[in-house]
Amino acid sequence: MHGVLRVVVRTTWIALSAVVLVAAGVAWTTYREVDAGIRRSTAIPTDAPRSSSGTTVLVMGLTTRRDLDGGTPPDDVLDALHAGDVDRGGYNANALIVLHLPAGAGGAKALSLPRDNNAPLLGIPGGPQRGKVKEAYGRAKAAVERTLPTTLDPAEQEWLGREAGRRAQVETVQALLGVPIDHLAEVSMVGFHHLTEALGGIDVCLNRATADPHSGADFPAGPQHLTPAQSLAFVRQRHGLPNGDLDRTRRQQAFLSALLHRLRSEGPAALGPVAEVAKHNVVLSEGWDVLAAVQGVPGVTFTTLPLVPEDEPDAGPALRAAVTAALRPSGPSGPGAAPSPIPCVD
């Protein structure tokens, strides 16, 4: 049995799905069983540029309400999402995190890329486009699906479209930030719901009471246990918060901080129910051994990259400078210091 691994990216909800298989120290046989069952992507070519000082992973959270085969979730799941009908939201990569795992000793770095940064969108058939960085996935998926035979099995069409989206999102992010991407991890909104359902919700703390009809959030102030449906509303809420998306990011950080605290307290038993669910809701790069990648990493430093104003002609220089600064080595008392297990947030 592996000890509790202290590598959980807490900048956004998608990070839970990227490392949830190993964050609590799953038994080796259980880990291998789950690892073999997870869907694998070949969107990153084997001859693509690679990181020279470790492993860099792009973690993506999709807005789609559909499952991995393009199917429609049951009505009770859609009701729990509180996010409209199945086609609302498209396939934007609303959560984007670049996770850098060092080759030697030292902590990992998790860089959250704001979804609304304008960028050249690469990897889309027909040539580069411009738009918000989150849009590369959905635009590439739609463009490729228009070229596929109408007789193709719908699940295969969905997979091929998503593979195109993954390729485009990886190319767009690595060009914008100036870093190679070695691997990817992906989960959708409905996938996150199923994972939190398997966990039975999570404990959080709020500085003040808040309510938002858009996300379904309706919480009192103070410490509280959230149901799975409430957990999704908690990490999705941005309306009614003082700083909008930035406060939503802090919500997501608090959620994952609380999850890590729970996993450390309860050990592998807390993760057991998630294993089977992950097989049907998480996509990882072909050939990526997650356990080998994170084992022994002592912690994570968390950084949110800037949101460059829309009137700037090129967001790349500011973002690349921020990435360079964030990836500099830091001591244990620096930004990577452990947060409160369950921090109170707005």
| pLDDT tens column, 113-157 | 888 899 999 999 988 899 999 999 999 999 999 999 999 999 999
| pLDDT tens column, 286-336 | 988 876 776 666 666 778 888 899 888 889 999 999 999 998 876 544 444
Residue 7: pLDDT above 60?
Answer: no
Which residues, 6+ apart, have CB-to-CB distance to 192 below 8 Å?
13, 14, 16, 17, 61, 232, 235, 281
| Average pLDDT for the chain | 79
* Residue 35: predicted pLDDT: 65
Radius of gyration of the chain (CA): 19
191 vs 19, 245, 345, CA distance in Å? Answer: 14, 21, 25
Per the listing, tokens 């027909």 go with: 126
Task: Please tell me which residue, 195 or 221, carries the higher pLDDT value.
Answer: 221
How far apart CA 43 and CA 137 sit, in angstroms, is 12
Confidence grade of residue 229 (pLDDT, cut at 50, 70, 90): confident
* Residue 272: predicted pLDDT: 64
CATH class belonging to 13-327: alpha beta
Residue 127 carries which DSSP code? S
- Output b/e per residue, 100-126; b: 16+ Cβ within 10 A: bbbeeebbbbbbbbbbebbbbbbbbee
pTM of the model: 0.81
Instruction: Say how far residue 272 (Cα) sits from the centre of its chain.
Output: 21
Q: What are phi and psi of 342, to 5 degrees?
A: -130, 80
Residue 267: pLDDT above 50?
Answer: yes
Strand partners, 61: 95, 187
- Output b/e per residue, 197-206; b: 16+ Cβ within 10 A: bbbebbbbbb
